[in-house]
């Protein structure tokens, strides 16, 4: 089936989820009337998504009680220090500084040699990236959570 | 008419600040009790939302243990931020936000970690997808079938944390895209693009023979 210049897969997905505004819906419906290709794609979309349910987990009453107790217990332990996250972020800065200094040495010890290949050097960069991500995202999350409330 | 140019798909609108419904009176009351140090009230809040939070994380991560750990962290963060919690959204919405952000954060780190250790990957290493074959799946999953679950999680593996979050929140939780934009603090156009990518990826996994790309 031939597609037309006005065919838009993304709009079909939005249409399927009821996320097009009135004008968009109308536009798509008149397009669908003229376009067998899109009709068949929408049909396929419905077939694959209509009955697709994401898998889930069932918590038994015992598991629920246990997990709830663990959370409540930890919350009461952590209740006081509002500054906890800030403290840990500061600690993370220190850890980052230290680990970035010692990282190449560590790496050499793992592999028994200095990094030579591009892969190894790339990995070292990844390693730094990882640590930076950990740090930055903790800070990021911290700010987020202060905003969310 | 060429409506591709006029389509509302590539919007660059501002992230909506206030969309979700405000907290109910009973929720405010519950939070007030927790603020006053009533542990029972916090227990009540946790047990009321525990299943949905664990499931939300599980659907995005595909690993039950990680989902439980992350759910724990989400509740602890809720508890910790209670003093500054303004209550302008439902507790459930707040938990959506925290869980999604924790998951996205977790997946991003995992993806970097995997890149680092990729070279060490051995043929006898466990297949990451096999981890998804969780024996503790719910009864409804038995109906879903092992093959479907594996395909679904295999497709999810190919998506970024944000794409997974958008798909799970829209497809499974039925959250409107406007609210998802708010939850994930993304522009609506970005959310739409993530949803499209996720649907493409999942359909590709299920219908190899069909033309699913645009
Ligand atoms: Zn068409």
Q: What is the CATH number of the domain that holds B82?
A: 1.10.1740.10
Asked if B26 and B116 sit in the same domain, the reply is: yes
Contact predicate B56/B99, CB 8 Å:
yes
Is B7 a member of any domain? Answer: no
Asked if B33 and B118 sit in the same domain, the reply is: yes
Is B173 a member of any domain? Answer: yes
Is B15 a member of any domain? Answer: no
pLDDT for residue A105 is more than 50:
no
B102-158 per-position pLDDT tens digit? 999 999 888 888 777 654 444 444 444 444 445 455 555 555 677 888 888 889 999
Asked if B155 and B103 sit in the same domain, the reply is: no
Give B145→chain A minimum CA distance, Å.
Answer: 10
The answer to which of A14-28, B53-67, B196-210 has the lowest mean pLDDT is B196-210
The answer to which of A1-5, A74-78, B93-97 has the lowest mean pLDDT is A1-5
For chain A, give the mean pLDDT.
74
Collapsing DSSP to helix, strand or coil, B137 comes out as strand
Q: How much is the average pLDDT of B167-189?
A: 95
Q: How far apart are the CA of A41 and the centre of ligand 1, in A?
A: 9
Asked if B67 and B151 sit in the same domain, the reply is: no
pTM of the full structure: 0.71
B143-170 per-position pLDDT tens digit? 567 788 888 888 999 999 999 999 999 9
Question: Which residues of B are less than 8 Å from A7 in CB distance?
Answer: 214
**What b/e sequence results for B182-207 when a residue is b if at least 16 CB atoms lie within 10 Å of its CB, and e otherwise?**
bbbebbbbbbbbbbbbbbbbbbebbe
Is B191 a member of any domain? Answer: yes
Q: How many folded domains does chain B comprise? A: 2
What is the distance between the alpha carbons of residues A132 and A134, in angstroms, rounded to a whole number?
5
Is B130 a member of any domain? Answer: no
Question: Which residues of B are less than 8 Å from A67 in CB distance?
Answer: 50, 54, 68, 71-72
Asked if B111 and B151 sit in the same domain, the reply is: no
pLDDT for residue B77 is more than 80:
yes
ipTM for the whole predicted complex goes beyond 0.85: no
Domain coverage including residue B55: 21-122
Query: Residue B169 sits in a domain of what CATH number?
Result: 1.10.10.10
Q: How far apart are the CA of A117 and the centre of ligand 1, in A?
A: 50
Phi and psi at residue A57, to the nearest 5° = -120, 145
Q: Which of B27, B37, B144 has the highest number of chain A CBs within 10 A, making it the mutation to test binding with A? A: B144
Nearest CB among A10, A78, A126 relative to B80 is that of A78
Asked if B115 and B202 sit in the same domain, the reply is: no
Question: Which residues of A are less than 8 Å from B2 in CB distance?
Answer: 5-6
Using the 3D structure, point to which of B93, B122, B151 is the last residue of a domain: B122
Asked if B113 and B35 sit in the same domain, the reply is: yes
pLDDT attached to residue B112: 82
What is the distance between the alpha carbons of residues A141 and B182, in angstroms, rounded to a whole number?
15
pLDDT attached to residue A51: 84
């Amino acid at each position: 089936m031939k597609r037309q210049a006005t065919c838009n897969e993304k709009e079909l997905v939005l249409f399927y989820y009821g996320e097009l505004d009135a004008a968009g819906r109308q536009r798509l419906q008149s397009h669908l009337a003229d376009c067998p290709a899109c009709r068949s794609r929408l049909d396929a979309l419905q077939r694959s998504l209509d009955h697709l349910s994401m898998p889930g987990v069932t918590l038994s009453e015992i598991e629920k009680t246990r997990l709830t107790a663990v959370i409540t217990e930890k919350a009461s332990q952590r209740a006081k220090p509002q500054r906890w996250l800030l403290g840990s972020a500061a600690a993370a800065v220190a850890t980052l500084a230290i680990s970035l200094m010692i990282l190449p040495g560590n790496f050499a010890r793992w592999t028994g040699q200095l990094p030579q290949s591009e892969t190894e050097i790339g990995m070292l960069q990844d390693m730094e990236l990882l640590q930076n991500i950990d740090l930055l995202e903790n800070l990021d999350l911290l700010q987020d959570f202060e905003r969310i409330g | 008419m060429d409506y591709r140019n006029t389509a509302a798909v590539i919007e660059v609108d501002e992230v909506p600040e206030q969309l979700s419904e405000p907290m109910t009176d009973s929720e405010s009351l519950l939070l007030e009790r927790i603020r006053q140090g009533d542990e029972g009230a916090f227990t009540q809040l946790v047990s009321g939302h525990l299943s949905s939070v664990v499931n939300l994380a599980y659907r995005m991560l595909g690993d039950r243990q990680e989902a439980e750990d992350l759910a724990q962290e989400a509740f602890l963060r809720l508890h910790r931020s209670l003093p500054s919690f303004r209550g302008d959204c439902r507790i459930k919405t707040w938990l959506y936000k925290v869980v999604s952000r924790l998951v996205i954060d977790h997946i991003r780190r995992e993806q970097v970690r995997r890149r680092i250790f990729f070279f060490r990957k051995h043929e006898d290493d466990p297949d990451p997808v096999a981890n998804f074959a969780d024996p503790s799946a719910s009864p409804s999953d038995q109906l879903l079938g092992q093959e479907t679950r594996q395909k679904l999680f295999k497709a999810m593996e190919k998506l970024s944390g944000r794409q997974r979050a958008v798909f799970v929140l829209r497809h499974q939780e039925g959250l409107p895209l406007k609210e998802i934009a708010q939850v994930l603090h993304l522009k609506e156009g970005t959310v739409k693009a993530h949803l499209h990518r996720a649907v493409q990826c999942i359909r590709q996994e299920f219908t190899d023979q069909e033309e699913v790309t645009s």
